Homo-oligomer: A and B are copies of this chain.
């Protein structure tokens, strides 16, 4: 699947993509699709995970080392992708 945004891939995308896919179509059971999600929601969710307000150990571990700028790049990337019906289980 080709990303629908012309933006460069965030440098930190790899770890996210293992569950949420490069383009935000989840590839793991239990992981949500992120493609086309609202930017404001994604930004807040990423900070909440990183800082432990939203207590999901795997997400805290993945995001713990990331800066605000890196979180912002990830939120922008996924928000800019297009959710496709093929992503439905």
Contacts and interface: CB of A to CB of B under 8 A. Distances in A.
Interface size class of A (residues with CB under 8 A): 20 to 34
A23 interface: no
Secondary structure of the A side of the interface?
loop
B85 A82 contact: yes
B87 A36 contact: yes
Contact of A32 (B29, B37, B82, B87): B37
A88 B54 CA distance: 24
B26 A41 contact: yes
Interface in A8-37: 26, 29-33, 35-37
A79 B45 CA distance: 20
Interface in A40-68: 40-41, 44-45, 54
Interface of A: 26, 29-33, 35-41, 44-45, 54, 79, 82-83, 85, 87-89
